[in-house]
């Protein structure tokens, strides 16, 4: 089974449009890796570190809120661990809401050099989030393939 109907952005946009386009492409891949994954495998660690598909989505939700909305994170390790009440639907919905709010904040930026949340430039925030999401999207791809053979974004 593949889920490869999500495509990266085409060229020709502004720097901000390109960065957000690639970020949105990666974000969708992460969300889709959780959607349709069976319980309890989606929350079960697939590697020694304890990482699970659901944990990755939950973690990226916290990273989005921290970087783009300036929300505090009390414990980064806890962002990687789904709790009993977390469902695929609730975690993905929270992620999509964090992405929506982050994109609203980004839309208001007129200058990528200007400091944003966390007192760094918008460019730095976008590049960092692309890197962070890409790394974890790759992890989620592998973990999902281990669960049920599903591959791709």
**Domain assignment of residue 153, yes or no:** no
**Domain assignment of residue 8, yes or no:** no
pTM for the complete prediction?
0.93
Could you give the number of structural domains in the chain? 1
- pLDDT per residue as tens digits for the range 83-103: 999 999 999 999 999 999 999
**Domain assignment of residue 3, yes or no:** no
Kindly indicate the confidence band of residue 2, based on its pLDDT and cuts at 50, 70 and 90. Answer: very low
- pLDDT per residue as tens digits for the range 103-131: 999 999 999 999 997 789 999 999 999 99
Q: What is the mean pLDDT of residues 126-141?
A: 97
Q: Is 142 strand, coil or helix?
A: helix
**Domain assignment of residue 44, yes or no:** yes
Specify the CATH number for the domain of residue 35.
1.20.120.450
**Domain assignment of residue 121, yes or no:** yes
Cα–Cα distance measured from residue 26 to residue 46, given in angstroms and rounded to the nearest whole number: 21
Read off φ and ψ for residue 47, nearest 5 degrees: -140, 165
**Domain assignment of residue 4, yes or no:** no
**Domain assignment of residue 63, yes or no:** yes
- For residue 72, give its domain range: 15-148
């Amino acid at each position: 089974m593949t889920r490869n109907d999500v495509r990266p952005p085409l060229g020709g946009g502004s720097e901000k449009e390109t960065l957000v386009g690639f970020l949105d492409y990666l974000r969708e891949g992460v969300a889709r890796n959780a959607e349709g994954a069976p319980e309890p495998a989606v929350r079960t660690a697939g590697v020694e570190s304890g990482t699970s598909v659901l944990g990755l989505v939950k973690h990226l939700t916290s990273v989005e809120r921290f970087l783009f909305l300036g929300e505090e994170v009390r414990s980064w390790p806890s962002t990687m661990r789904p709790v009993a009440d977390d469902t695929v639907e609730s975690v993905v919905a929270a992620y999509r809401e964090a992405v929506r709010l982050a994109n609203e904040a980004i839309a208001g930026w007129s200058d990528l050099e200007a400091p944003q949340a966390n007192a760094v430039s918008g460019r730095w925030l976008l590049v960092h989030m692309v890197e962070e999401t890409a790394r974890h999207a790759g992890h989620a791809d592998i973990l999902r393939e281990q669960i049920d053979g599903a591959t791709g974004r």
